[in-house]
Structure 1
Amino acid sequence: MSKLKLLLPVFLVLAACRPDQVKHLPGTKQIAEETANWEAIRITPTDLLHATRWAGDSLTAYADTLLRRTLARELKRGSLSQAASFCHPQSYPQVDSMARKWQARPRRAEWQTTNTAPAAAIAAAGLRPDTMRLIGRPAVDTFFYQRPITLNNNLCLRCHGRPGHDLTAAEAALLQQQHPGLKSVGRQPGQVLGAWQLTLERSGVAEFYTMKTRKKWKEHKMPKLF
């Protein structure tokens, strides 16, 4: 009987607590996910190759976007020669900053008129006008990324298109003079202009993989039960 008397107040207290009256510590889920992000994880060689493609796609897509915006601005000003001088997105400060963050060295290998390839790493399979990439690991701490640069934007035709149709004969002659040895003009939509190539350090690739796969906390409001 004495035990029942002692337990009765406890039962009454528990019965008085409704679910909507229970207070949870704020940010517990966020703290748990941040703790999980700090745990050491094993990154496999396959993971590093995936990260190489992710990093290459991200950096080159960003560079291409900046290039289109810059060319549109310069062409609007009316100077084709001036616009063509900006066709080096790999050297843009924003692209260079992004490349330094992921320890990558980007370059654009342009398609030449001679039989000599712009770079030894370019293979025929990597220059088809589609979404194919070449991903490799030439050394233990070095990764390589390559994807074709295709003429898939009308803005590019303004410099690389057909003389007398997309640009004047005088403009075509000026571009050929500025870029000797390169097939700068006379191209058609879908053709390959060259290739993006990136050399990345292992530490940068691993950091990109960690950032890409880390858990991101999202606040979820508790439903109102009562």
Structure 2
Amino acid sequence: MKFPLSQLALPLLALAFAACRPDQVEHLKDSKRIGIEAENWEVKRIMPKDLLRATRWAGDSLTANADSLLRRTLARELAAGGVARAMRFCRPETYHAVDSLAGVLKATARRVSEHPRNPASLAPLLAAEMRPDTVRTIRRLSQEVFFYQRPIVLNNQLCLRCHGEIGKDISQADYALLQQKFPRDQATGYRLGQPMGAWMVSLQRPGVAEFWTMKTRKKWKEHKMPKLF
């Protein structure tokens, strides 16, 4: 006996739907997280422009951390022992936390000026690279070395205690202490808002590339399931 095609199709469709009931389908858990992690492990080609962008990110991160630590340290030391105590801590590039971050970035950081307190920090600076304070100088010096520079602007009232006008911001007694330690000091006479010098950072390519990868890597954020009952 022959049955019409429509009569044969109905039982087959019923079986198919029964075999695929939602309560019998096993879904892949955390599929989004797995996809993001797989993408993170995928080897990506980093272009030259990406490395230059990462040089700025890394330089900003390193110097901003150093400046923040310097402000907190100077506030603490000035309160504890005045200029005599605080002037020993005015080298944030030597702080342990800053040095550790520089190690991660494979970077060497120093602060320079055309009117330094220490002659070892003397360096010529282009006026166009010192204003405004948001200017950044980024270069690739070689295949393996990148260069970062940004101006250091006196924007903290506390800094005037050592770098302001003698007799007004700096007492004669404190200036005598500064001259005793830095007999060739030129770093006085500044006012708020003036550029004092610059951060210069040399970074190795592996550190820059790793920082670019860290900054651009997607992060998986676990979201709690909504409460149903």
Q: TM-score, normalization: structure 2? A: 0.85
> Within 5 A, what are the aligned runs for 1:43-62?
43-62=46-65
Contact 1:51 1:209 (C-alpha < 8 Å) held by counterparts: yes
Q: Aligned AA for 1:107?
A: R
What's 1:187 paired with? 190
For the pair 1:119 / 2:116, whether they are aligned, the reply is: no
Q: Aligned AA for 1:140?
A: Q
Q: Aligned AA for 2:43?
A: A
Which of 141, 144, 162 is the aligned partner of 2:144?
A: 141
Alignment gaps of 5+ in structure 1: none
Q: Which moved more, 1:36-45 or 1:213-222?
A: 213-222
Q: What is the CA distance between 1:32 and its match in structure 2?
A: 0.7
Contact 1:176 1:185 (C-alpha < 8 Å) held by counterparts: no
Q: Which moved more, 1:58-67 or 1:154-163?
A: 154-163
For the pair 1:104 / 2:107, whether they are aligned, the reply is: yes
Contact 2:55 2:138 (C-alpha < 8 Å) held by counterparts: yes
Contact 1:151 1:188 (C-alpha < 8 Å) held by counterparts: yes
For the pair 1:178 / 2:184, whether they are aligned, the reply is: no
**Partner SS state of residue 162, structure 1:** coil
**Partner SS state of residue 85, structure 1:** helix
Contact 2:58 2:211 (C-alpha < 8 Å) held by counterparts: yes
Q: TM-score, normalization: structure 1? A: 0.86
Which of 149, 164, 171 is the aligned partner of 2:167?
A: 164
Contact 1:172 1:185 (C-alpha < 8 Å) held by counterparts: no
Q: Aligned AA for 1:108?
A: R
What's 1:197 paired with? 200
Q: What is the CA distance between 1:168 and its match in structure 2?
A: 1.0
Q: What is the CA distance between 1:222 and its match in structure 2?
A: 6.6
Q: Aligned AA for 1:5?
A: P
Contact 1:162 1:187 (C-alpha < 8 Å) held by counterparts: yes
List structure 1 runs of 4+ shifted beyond 6 angstroms: 222-225
Q: Determine the C-alpha separation between the residues in 2 that align with 1:53 and 1:182.
A: 31
**Partner SS state of residue 100, structure 2:** helix
Q: What is the CA distance between 1:123 and its match in structure 2?
A: 2.2
Q: Determine the C-alpha separation between the residues in 2 that align with 1:127 and 1:78.
A: 33
**Partner SS state of residue 31, structure 1:** helix
Q: Which moved more, 1:78-87 or 1:47-56?
A: 78-87
Contact 1:111 1:182 (C-alpha < 8 Å) held by counterparts: no
Which of 4, 11, 22 is the aligned partner of 2:10?
A: 4
Q: What is the CA distance between 1:223 and its match in structure 2?
A: 7.2
Q: Determine the C-alpha separation between the residues in 2 that align with 1:163 and 1:9.
A: 94
Which of 22, 37, 41 is the aligned partner of 2:40?
A: 37
For residues 102-138 of structure 1, what are the alpha-carbon distances to aligned partners after superposition, in whole Å with 9 as ceiling and x for unaligned?
Answer: 100001113327xxx9235x32222235211111111
Overall identity of the aligned pairs, in %: 56
Q: CA RMSD in A?
A: 2.7
Q: Determine the C-alpha separation between the residues in 1 that align with 2:18 and 2:48.
A: 59
Q: Determine the C-alpha separation between the residues in 1 that align with 2:185 and 2:131.
A: 18
- C-alpha distance 179-192 of structure 1, shift in aligned 2 (>3 A): farther
Contact 1:108 1:197 (C-alpha < 8 Å) held by counterparts: yes
